[in-house]
Structure 1
Amino acid sequence: MNLVRAELLKVRSTSIWWILTLTYLPLWGLALFFNYLQTDGLANGDFGEAPENQADVVAAASQPDNLAANLYTNGQFFGLLMVMLLGILVVTNEFFHQTVTTTFLTTPHRSAVMLAKLAATALLGLVFWLLTTSANLLAGSAVLEAVGVGARYGGAVWEAVGLNALAYLLWAILGVGIGVLIRSQVGATVTGILLYLGGTIGAVIVISTLAASFGDWINNVQLLVPSLASSLMVTGGDFPGNPPRWAGAAVLVGYAVVAGVVGTLTLRRRDIS
């Protein structure tokens, strides 16, 4: 616990937390604005008649519980990016500020240091989730009331909120893994952002193109893309043509476990000088 507290102190004593927070706030507001427009359109049928091959998906998205789940997990896409960057910086800051040698001299057991970083970052990821979810519950309920649906708190909604918490925790761990593999702060940060944003956009384009040619079964491939697996986890219910939510959670857990194990083994063996 002392090591975990030390890692939390390192974060609090730097500008990491407030820079990421200030970066995230306008992105959260932008996501809420577009989710409001989408919710209003789905709830009131303003999008017109959906294409035949998308009618089932639109009908599922228009269900009150699914509308609520989407609003109560508002900002997930950018939120996960923030906690991933936090995980990267928790590791790379040590190398950037050249404090890693002191850390390992104080605590020679590198595995213990790595586990403390993983635990501290996961905890911070959950705090980030808690704060955003609190804001989402307030704003989401207001949006649902405004569009005439009314606030929803059914079981499927809470499942989405709970799986969203798991996503925040796991992406924090993924960030630590990236930070260990790429010790350069700039290099790890840029790589993480490119993989997250570029990988997501590229995967959506490729999967959509292939699905149009070979059928909806291609949509199952989205499970292999971590950010798409995260989005799948927070749907209010199972959508036509999409894999089940638990599958997205299982795949993301696998990525996080691999990142944690590889990061720990790498940190134990790599020369830090």
Structure 2
Amino acid sequence: MNIVAAVRAEFSKILTVRLWWVLLIVLAGYVAFTAGILALAFGGLGDQLGAGGGDVPQIPDAALPPIIYSIASSVGYVFPVLFGTLATTAEFRHQTLTPTFLATPRRGVVLAAKFVTLAVFGGLYGIVALVASVGPGASILAATGRDTGLGDSDTWLLLARVVLVMAIWAIIGVGLGALIPSQVAAIVIVLAFTQFVEPILRLVSSFVDWAAGIGQYLPGAAGDALVGSSIFSSFSAPSAGAAMLEWWQGGLVLLAYAIAAGAIGYLTSWRRDVT
């Protein structure tokens, strides 16, 4: 079986279960709610709260739209990486890898097909997340007299990079799933790292000068750098090395994580006997 047939088989596996669209719906709702709240807080109520002596930080008008739109990836990236992980570990859990490897003995082709397929779904997740962030975000900004930034080519480049980063996150998920065959363990590790460990590390690195340079190379920070904007970096404490990487540097770092996870997963669990 060639790579085209293997990719077709991977699409069939995913589309026959409900997981992909259930996660997609949750992603859309989560991102839309977060983007709407931020647009209302910093676009609609920021001036009033600031004028009243509140503690709401003021964000420059030009920087506000990218921050709100990038919510699609800065808080939504956990969904494609989790989906990629689940789509791979499910093969081990339900032992569907056995017939898959019988039909396609070249295991590298199977893994490559998963990378391609999940990258496409990751891009789809990125598009839906953008609709969920740009829709309510731009509407609230326009209603409150703020510039939506949608007439700026830089904004559209940022949106395109959001789709790209979500695709890469899905590939990382595949690599993690190949590396950690246990579905429960993989889910716990993904959620613990993305929701607790990395946010804490990024917060600490934003306050400690010597750790700031290291914090830039964390996966989430690299993803934010590739996009070019993030709610997390906007509220980081100023430090000597707190600036994000260039977008292309962030992309290379994130790709390095994807390649490393995939390569190690292939050389370990993916090559073992699965029967």
* TM-score when normalising by structure 2: 0.83
Structure 1: gaps of 5 or more residues: 51-57
Report the Cα distance in structure 2 between the residues aligned to 1:119 and 1:136, rounded to whole angstroms.
26
2:264 alignment counterpart: 262
1:122 aligns with 2:123: no
Query: What is the CA distance between 1:263 and its match in structure 2?
Result: 2.6
Report the Cα distance in structure 2 between the residues aligned to 1:43 and 1:144, rounded to whole angstroms.
12
The residue type paired with residue 122 of structure 2 is G
Question: Residues 7 and 117 of structure 2 are in contact (CA less than 8 Å); yes or no, is this contact kept in structure 1?
Answer: yes
Report the Cα distance in structure 1 between the residues aligned to 2:145 and 2:105, rounded to whole angstroms.
60
The residue type paired with residue 229 of structure 1 is A
1:26 aligns with 2:19: no
Structure 1 runs, 4 residues or longer, greater than 6 Å off: 237-240
The residue type paired with residue 267 of structure 2 is L
Question: Residues 129 and 165 of structure 1 are in contact (CA less than 8 Å); yes or no, is this contact kept in structure 2?
Answer: yes
Report the Cα distance in structure 2 between the residues aligned to 1:266 and 1:49, rounded to whole angstroms.
59
Query: What is the CA distance between 1:13 and its match in structure 2?
Result: 0.6
The aligned length equals 259
Query: What is the CA distance between 1:148 and its match in structure 2?
Result: 1.0
Report the Cα distance in structure 1 between the residues aligned to 2:140 and 2:213, rounded to whole angstroms.
31
1:1-273 matches, cutoff 5 A: 1-40=4-43, 44=47, 46-47=49-50, 61-64=59-62, 66-153=63-150, 154-211=152-209, 218-236=211-229, 241-246=242-247, 247-273=249-275
Query: What is the CA distance between 1:43 and its match in structure 2?
Result: 6.5
Report the Cα distance in structure 1 between the residues aligned to 2:94 and 2:52, rounded to whole angstroms.
57
Query: What is the CA distance between 1:267 and its match in structure 2?
Result: 4.9
Deviations 1:172-224 (A, max 9, x none): 1111111111111111111111111122222133213414xx6xxx4332222
Query: What is the CA distance between 1:117 and its match in structure 2?
Result: 0.5
Report the Cα distance in structure 2 between the residues aligned to 1:49 and 1:263, rounded to whole angstroms.
55
Report the Cα distance in structure 2 between the residues aligned to 1:255 and 1:227, rounded to whole angstroms.
11
Deviations 1:77-108 (A, max 9, x none): 34211101111111111111111111100111
Query: What is the CA distance between 1:46 and its match in structure 2?
Result: 3.9
Report the Cα distance in structure 1 between the residues aligned to 2:228 and 2:175, rounded to whole angstroms.
27
Report the Cα distance in structure 1 between the residues aligned to 2:134 and 2:35, rounded to whole angstroms.
12
Greater share of helix: 1
The residue type paired with residue 105 of structure 2 is P
Query: What is the CA distance between 1:32 and its match in structure 2?
Result: 1.7
The residue type paired with residue 84 of structure 1 is V
